[in-house]
Every structure is written in structure tokens, then in C-alpha cells.
Amino acid sequence: MRFISSGILILTLLVSCAQKQDKIQEDSIDFQLDKVIKTYPDDKVQAFEWSEKLVNKYNSAKILSEIAMIHYRKGNYELAAYYFKKSSEQFKADGKTLQSAEQLANLGVVYEILGLYPDAVSVYFKALQIFKEKNKLVSVAKIYNNLGIVYQELDKPKESLSYYNKALQLIEKQGNTLQIASKYNNIGVVYEENLKDYDQAFEYYKKANKIYENEKDINNQIITENNIANIFLLKNKAIEAEVIISHILRLNRKKGNDNYLNKIYLNLSKAYFQENKIEKALETGMKSLQLSRDFSDKQTEVNILKLLSEIYEAKNNYKQANQLLKNYYSLKNKIAGESQQLKIAGLNAKYLLTEKENKIKILSLKDKINSKKMFILWLVVIGLILILAAVFMFYQLKQKQNKIEMMRMRMKINEYIMQSNHSAENDKQQKNPVIYNSDQYDLTEKEKEVLLLISKGFTNKEIADKLFVSVNTVKTHTKNIYIKMDVRNRTEAAKKMQKT
């Protein structure tokens, strides 16, 4: 991550939950919680059952928030989301609206981790309203910062910058210089990654770096200077980048964090490669690769594998370049799979919340209605479940049919290609130079179709409609095209095809 102070509110917002109540009861609760932490089960069903036993025994907003924190620390985000929500509701019922808002903020953080960004925005706004009413400006600033992160993940840079600037204005009034630097850095990331405005990004990184340098915050100074070096690399100013990175390494040896060293070596390897210092680029690239694996930093490992493949290609060692490229795609697909698993876990979290809330509502009506009405109610619930199951099965069947149809189309295309002769290939080159030229980049057939439509000036939405796929699928193909062709945007991709 290149963000500084990413906005995770868990540790700061749960301070109020540590306040002591009745000492005898508190000792008993703490003992039970300690037991749960030491013998936390791997099975999620058992974890839920243990949690419910504690809730039923003590039944307080505090115990709900403590249980939520246990699940959060254990990485069981589905249950963490459920108990943060229940804790917020209980605090609200007890008339403690501020504590309720703190739990909502925590819930938003969990939703962020699970990739449920619209849900995160929703609970953040609820918490924000309460913090404003209570005039808790520090918490308001943190919520603004988190909204900035969420909107950046949603690729809405305008909204992201708006909330980062709101957070910045509040923090400037408080005079917290390190927090100000953090916001400068985060704003710089938006300009660099979302808007591709490298000059603006450079200015904000410099502002952040100056503060960290004055405050002697070396670790964060290293991060911002490495961001500055990356801007130089993006602008093909390798010599300037190398000078900055040399300074970073001196800082790191003085009082740095070795866990960031792999990212520094990655940029240094890029600088050497741009300067055509192949052996030095290879040496520092291998250092970055080893450290990335030691630190389990998969994202940096992906980036360095791609760079090393290009370095070996420049050395005419095509066998090693090809192997590294295979490793690159393998790890990239693995990361994408893990991201998808988090999203699935997020959907499961929403299902768990809904399922438990429905159960509570049904139990609350048990003493108010007779057996006949209860029987009818259960029939309705079962009917809804059957309908949802039918809809789900229909959706799955539809997906399979679409896949079969796509496979048929691809088979027809392959048959056509197999039957085409050499003259047809030459004709194809003349009529469709974009597709012909794209062969050398090892693009898939679908990526070639996307590239052709990109070269014709179609938008992602128009391409999705023409290819009968989602906009997100088009974006994924586009990112793969950029990586394989080593370009940064649509214009460069189209130009590169015409020059090839």
C-alpha cells in the first residue's frame, strides 16, 4: 500500500469500549473472552455458537463490540461485521449514540476489507451524521478520510479528492502536521493512479515529504520519497529517480523499516532498466523479488516478476523471460482469486446479517401470535427461500448457457482460423491491422476484440454491449492489454498497434 494512515478506525474508535463497569462482572467477561481468544475454533459455525453463548450470558453492547473485535483480529470478517452491527444497535437502544456511531465506523472498515464499498459508504454516512451532531471533529475527519479511500477504490477520483480535502481542512484547523502530510500523500496517490496527473501528484508528494522531513518521521519520509521516485520513472526521468532512491536507501539504513525495502528495490531496478544498466537492474530486481516473498507482499512480487521478465528478454534470455512471465500470470490470477473470495465473503456477511435479523424478528413474535399464524409465517419464509433458490438456480443455469454459447462461438472462430490460408492472413493484416499486429503481444482472442474496439474509439460501455459482457470484464481485459503491451492508456495502445 502506498497510502499513509489508510483510515482504519478500529483501534482508535474502540477506546470507549474499554471503560470498566461492574468489576466482578468485568472480570468474568474478560476471563471468558480470554478463553475464546486462546481456543478460537477454525470452524466458523463453532465460532458463531461460542459467541452466542457469551452474548446470551452477558447481553450487553460492550460484549458485542469485544466479540466483534475478536473476530476482526482473527480475520473472520463475516462475523465481525455481524457483531459490530449488533453492537451499534444495542448502544443506540441504550441511548449511547456516540458509541453506536463508533461501531458503525468499525462496520464500515470491515465492509471496505470485504470489498462491499457501497455498504461501507452507507454506514460511514450514518456515523458521520452522529459525529457531526456531537461535534467530534477528529472522528469526522477520519470518516472523511475513509470515504476518500472508498471512492478511490470505486474509481471516482472527483468524490475521493473532495472527501480527502474535507478531512485535510479539519486536520489543518487542529494543527496535526503529520496527519496533514498523510492527507497530502493520499491526495497525491489519487492524482497519480486515478487521474494520471503526474505533475499534481508530484506537488502533493513534495508537500508531504517536506513535513515528514521536518518532523523527522523517517519511515513515512521513505514512503513519500519512493512515491516521488516513481513519478520520475513514469516521466522517464531515470537519473532523477536513481538519485532519490539512493537517498532513500541511506535513510533506510539509518532508521528505516526493512519491510518497505522490496518496494524501494523495485523502483531502483526500474531506474537501472530505463538507463539500460541491465545487470544492475537484474541484481536489484532479484533482491526485490526475494524480499517480496519474504514479506509475503504479493502485489510487489507481481510487479517485479513482470519487470524481471522484460529484463531477461533484453538479455535475449527468452527461456528465463518466458518462465518469469508464466509466474507473473500465475500469481496475478491467484491474487485476483483471493480478491474474489473476499467479495464472496462480503456477500456471505450480508446474508448472515439478514438471516440472523430475520430469526430475531420471528422469535420476538412467538408470544404474540397463535400457532396457526406462526405456521403460516413459516410457510411464507420457506416459500421465499424456495423462490430465492429457484432464482439462484436459474441464474446459474443462465450462466452455464452463456458459457456454452461462448465456447461454441470460440470453436467456430477457431475452425475458421484453421481453414484460413496464407493469403487470407495477408488480407486480414491489411483489413484489420490492429488484430494482426496484436498477435505479437500474446493477446487472447477476447483481448484482441477489445483492442480493436478500443482503437475504433468505443467506450467501455459500448464495448461491453457489443461483446455481450459486463463493463468490469471489459476493464479487466483492458488492464491485461496494457500489461502485455506495456502501455499506460488507450491512446498508447492504439498508436503502438499502428507502429508495429
Q: Is the dihedral of CA 118, 119, 125, 128 positive or negative?
A: negative
What CA–CA distance (Å, rounded) separates 44 from 38?
Answer: 15
Q: Closest Cα to residue 282, out of 308, 305, 304?
A: 308
- Mean per-residue pLDDT, 360-379: 59
Q: What per-residue confidence (pLDDT) applies to 202?
A: 96
pLDDT confidence of residue 420: 52
The mean pLDDT of 114-135, rounded to a whole number, is 94
> Which range has the worst mean pLDDT, 345-354, 453-462, 464-473?
345-354
Residue type for position 193: E
Q: Would you state the pLDDT for residue 401?
A: 77
- What confidence category does residue 491 fall into, taking pLDDT thresholds of 50, 70 and 90? confident
Q: Which residue has the higher pLDDT, 2 or 356?
A: 2
What pLDDT was estimated at residue 92?
A: 93
Q: Looking at the predicted structure, is the pLDDT value of residue 91 above 60?
A: yes
* pLDDT category of residue 67 using cuts at 50, 70 and 90: confident
pLDDT at 384: 85
- Cell triple for 55: 452474548
Mean pLDDT is highest, among 4-8, 161-165, 442-446, for: 161-165
pLDDT of residue 500: 55
pLDDT of residue 97: 94
Fill in the DSSP letter of residue 236.
T
pLDDT category at 359 given cuts 50, 70, 90 is: very low
Does the pLDDT at position 22 exceed 70? no
Query: Is residue 157 within a helix (H) or strand (E), and if so which, with residue range?
Result: helix 157-174
pLDDT tens digits, one per residue of 214-247? 999 999 999 999 999 999 999 999 999 999 999 9
User: How confident is the model over 369-379, as a mean pLDDT?
Assistant: 71
Confidence check: pLDDT of 203 > 80 = yes
Domain residue ranges in the chain? 269-353, 393-424, 432-500
* Cβ count near 66 (within 10 Å): 22
State yes or no: pLDDT of 282 exceeds 70: yes
For position 255, what pLDDT does the model report? Answer: 74
Neighbours of 471 (CB within 10 A): 14
Torsion angle (degrees, nearest 10) of CA 493, 497, 498, 500: 130
CA max distance for the chain: 89
**Average pLDDT taken over every residue of the chain:** 81
**What are the grid coordinates assigned to 228, written together?**
516521488
| Domain 432-500 CATH class label | mainly alpha
The pLDDT value given to residue 292: 93
Q: Which tops the pLDDT comparison, 130 or 411?
A: 130
**Rounded-to-integer distance, Cα 108 and Cα 81, Å:** 9
Of 21-25, 267-271, 303-307, 444-448, the range with the lowest mean pLDDT is 21-25
- Average pLDDT value for residue range 375-401: 82
pLDDT of residue 227: 96
Q: Kindly report the pTM of this predicted structure.
A: 0.61
What mean pLDDT comes out for the span 31-41? 62
Q: What is the tens place of the pLDDT at every residue in 392-419? A: 888 777 777 777 776 676 666 556 555 5
Instruction: Express as a percent the part of the chain with pLDDT over 90.
Output: 46
pLDDT at 346: 52
Please check the confidence at residue 426 and state whether its pLDDT lies above 60. no
Q: By mean pLDDT, which of 253-262, 282-291, 390-399, 414-423 is the weakest? A: 414-423
CA distances from 107 to 56, 292, 484 (A): 22, 31, 38
CA–CA distance, 128 with 136 (Å, rounded to integer): 9
Evaluate if residue 185 carries a pLDDT over 70: yes
Per-residue pLDDT band at 131 (split at 50, 70, 90):
very high
Residue type, 333: N
Provide the residue type at 475 as one letter.
Answer: K
- Report the percentage of the chain scoring pLDDT > 70: 75
Mean pLDDT, residues 292-316: 93
pLDDT at residue 411, as a whole number: 66
pLDDT reported for residue 4? 54
Q: What is the mean pLDDT of residues 50-75?
A: 80
